Structure 1
Amino acid sequence: MQQSIIRRRSSIAKLVLDFPWTKTKEDIVDFFHVEESKGLSQERVKRDLERYGPNELPVEEVCIFLTAALGLPESLIPVQLLWVNLVTDGLPATALGFNPPDLDIMERPPRNPKESLITPWLFFRYMAVGTYVGAGTVGASCWWYVSYHDGPLLSWTQLKHHFKCRGGGKEWEDIDCDVFDDPHPMTMALSVLVTIEMLNALNSLSENQSLLKMPPWYNKYLLFAIALSMSLHMMILYIPMFNTVFQICPLTWEEWFAVLKISFPVVLLDETLKFVARRYVDKTETGTGFLHGVISLLILWGLYAVLLIYSPIFNSWAGFTHHPLGNTTTYTTVDHKNLDL
């Protein structure tokens, strides 16, 4: 690969030397700077589209589709979605404008002028990540209802038919129906969505380079923006006044641990898609680079699998079929509609 790059650059240099206006070494350097700037401009346009465009489109649609198709309780309400848009599309999206160029920007072949900015592969990546974000958001809400030991521990059937609870029936005898007004499930869903979007901002540091090669501190502005956005999210979680406005509540350490475990796979998913792009789409990773990429992916996925195996959240997913009578805990809920804001 190095030899092909050398030949490519040598041919470009020879072509430049044949230009009548090329007289000095500085002219050649300027030519390469221009070519690098062109690649950087195209890369930044793509990155902006990646941040503002299709990767976020399926999120709300997937949430709405899953809750409606499966008959699940509402995961997010409009004011919470507005908050997500404010937090994720504000500071982190602005900070992405300070991203450095990709490490392999001069190794890529010229872009086909007939090719659209959003290629079929990029569209697939956006849809894959967006679908996981939506599914993870709904899954976090379901986890609290079905799997969390301090939750109601409902069966999957009870959760799907939650609207029948207040009508009575044998399967609802020991269930406090006020549990479906509890703010914890929405808080879990909202926190997972915000956390995933922050991790997705880190994924957007480079189109195809792994975070192991281009770590987050390559863009310190992005780290600051993520820290500030998460601080704002903590503010609405732990200040009672905002709890009332957003219909959420504080989370425990165990719930936050579940949020992180549900959110982190978006990094693993995007790392896998980046590896496929480098290897099979752009074809810039061969030899030892390919081997290192495979080993890195296996280690990351393996560590996450071990974490799930020995983690309470993995074992507690059995709640989808167990706990037929659920948890008999009585829940005290707040009537947000009648509160004087």
Structure 2
Amino acid sequence: MTITARARPAREQFTGPAIEAERLVKHFGDFVAVDDVSFSVPQGTVLGLLGPNGAGKTTTVRMMTTLSRPTSGTARVAGHDVLRDPDAVRHSMGLTGQAATVDEFLTGRENILLMGSLYGLSKSAIRALTDELLERFSLGDAGDKVVKEYSGGMRRRLDLAVSLIAAPHVLFLDEPTTGLDPRSRVELWEVLRELVADGTTLLLTTQYLEEADQLADRIVVIDRGQIIAQGTPLELKDQSGKAALVVTVSRADQLESARGLLASHVREVHVDEGARQLTAPADGLADVTRIASVFDGSEIVLDDLGLKRPSLDDVFLHLTGHRAEDADTDETTASTQDTKERSR
């Protein structure tokens, strides 16, 4: 559901990329949280900033949204420089953090009304926007309930609705689906796709390759504060190895026969007797169809046959030599230190 032009605040037009990071660096004492990060995001697209906990994703977003001053380098949002014109940056973007920031003692409707009044919108515009945003995020029936009664998924949707009250050009989402159940995650993905279709540019940080695969046009992989790879989701997966064809045999006594049959049609077969599985290199779904027809003509009974793409850990192990959970930076401590410094 698209917010109507009648209710939507006017967007200032600009040319060029919606988001640009230019050699961003952030130090916390001797700790380098972000080290020479540069990228560009065209208008109306989605960039996934992918990395393990502590990689520097949140610190990068904080610098781009004026919450943290870069040690060096700069960034631009909707054409506005975060150092020279931070107020214009804040007016052109929305931000949804890792935890919902709505007031749990207000209703969903009251949260949106409050944000609209802070932006200085007229009462009639705020009322129209509130109704439309509640409906758009499937919160119409819950709009008059206090937020503390909301589920985690409902709170995340309300947080997004609040961030859209001023119809920002750019929306920063810092791990938007962390803690959500699978159904709520998928529902939120659909909402984000609608926003992009309306022309909003998204930058989302995530630990989940599946999430980036579902939403992002391009991905920047960051680890220990540095960009280590970037490209489309498929390009990144291919960097960590091709897809694999996985055949699971129903009966252990047919495993050897299945291996011989598969070996006659592929280059190499690996056998896992305990799992009754055969694995072989594959170029894509066409191989699945081809091998399925081979087994259809045999007496071998299969439990499953499919294509397995590299996982997040496969990507990180290939790119960095360590798995995602083995990251040893401490971005959380750094962000806390940054907040303390800003409050002095």
Q: Give TM-score scaled by structure 1 length.
A: 0.21
Higher relative strand content: 2
Answer 1 or 2: higher relative contact order, Cα 8 Å, separation at least 6: 1
